Amino acid sequence: MSATPFDQRDGWIWYDGQFVAWKDAKIHVLSHGLHYASSVFEGERAYGGAIFKSTEHSRRLKKSGEILDFEIPYSVAEIDAAKLAVLQKNNHTNAYLRPVAWRGSEMMGVSAQHNKIHLAIAAWEWPSYFDPAEKMKGIRLDLADYRRPDPQTAPSTAKAAGLYMICTISKHRAERKGYADALMLDWQGRVAECTGANVFFIRKGVLHTPVADCFLDGITRQTVIDLAKRRGFEVIERRIMPDELGSFEECFITGTAAEVTPVSEIATHRYVPGAMTKTLMDDYEAEVLPKAKAA
């Protein structure tokens, strides 16, 4: 990945309906989204020029805005078209896309009901989230101190910027200790997710994953569950307690950035990436690749 800061790269960003030069895509320091986290976003990948599950991501973006009490002023179809245009404008075929919507600077205070809602879309070349050599042997996870909040205290079903504050803190702490990421518990002390990815466990040929009711039910998570069921694998969505971590044989995480990444360690617990994990990694890779067009 390039070491060039993200505000100094070349290319084009779609901003409120038009393309602007990458370095000119700016917001004011008094934007509400910066001060009060009234911002939602998506993380998406394009493979071979096709954005994987683009419409599902656009729908979730719109829904996230609604949960934060604002309406993104573009339809799902318009957002889909804008994302594709960004890829083409920047001559990308394999890339990461970041649509982001936020409240502007018309009012500065907790209440900002009349602020303009902005939407921007950027895309850049981005390889595997984790080093390929590390990914194949499994990444190491720490246990996070912060927990995912009670859904009655935060808009947990939205992909909202403010929900990632504790994720950044937790990932930084994990990285300083030599880990790749951190596993978070929920507010009741049950296994939840990583800082930016969902988690799955395997025991005796059965796939187990936490119920996604206080954290994001990831699009990659949904895809992997579907792929597992197509294979005939049993999938159980349930409450998983930390004292169960040592009873599983395999573990992996899922996300647009992480894709399907094996885990070798969570704190004192060890896992060996095996056949089921490898099968789902391969199935996911096949799923995201653009299908050959019929003659």
Q: How many residues does the chain have?
A: 295
pLDDT value for 289: 87
pLDDT value for 295: 33
Give whole-number Cα distances, 75 to 45, 61, 97, in Å: 20, 11, 18
Domain limit, last residue, from 70, 91, 124: 124
pLDDT in tens, 132-161: 566 778 999 999 999 999 999 999 999 999
Paired with 119 in beta bridges are 101
Domain limit, last residue, from 87, 106, 124: 124
- Same-domain pairing of 202 and 253: yes
Domain limit, last residue, from 91, 106, 124: 124
pLDDT in tens, 41-80: 999 999 999 999 999 999 999 999 999 999 999 999 999 9
Give me the sign of the Cα torsion angle 219, 225, 226, 231.
positive
Here the CATH number for the domain that contains residue 187 is: 3.20.10.10
Here the CATH number for the domain that contains residue 27 is: 3.30.470.10
- Same-domain pairing of 187 and 153: yes
- Same-domain pairing of 92 and 156: no
The number of distinct structural domains making up the chain is 2
- Greatest Cα pair distance, the chain, in angstroms, is 58
Which domain covers residue 22, as residue numbers? 6-124
The token duo for 146 is: 């912060």
Q: Is 280 a domain residue? A: yes
Residue type at position 109 = G
pLDDT value for 1: 45
Helix axes of 219-230 and 54-67: crossing angle, nearest 10 degrees = 130
- Same-domain pairing of 96 and 195: no
Catalytic residues: 159
- Same-domain pairing of 68 and 187: no
- Same-domain pairing of 70 and 37: yes
pLDDT at 120 > cutoff 70: yes
Q: Is 188 a domain residue? A: yes
pLDDT in tens, 256-272: 999 999 999 999 999 99
Q: Is 253 a domain residue? A: yes
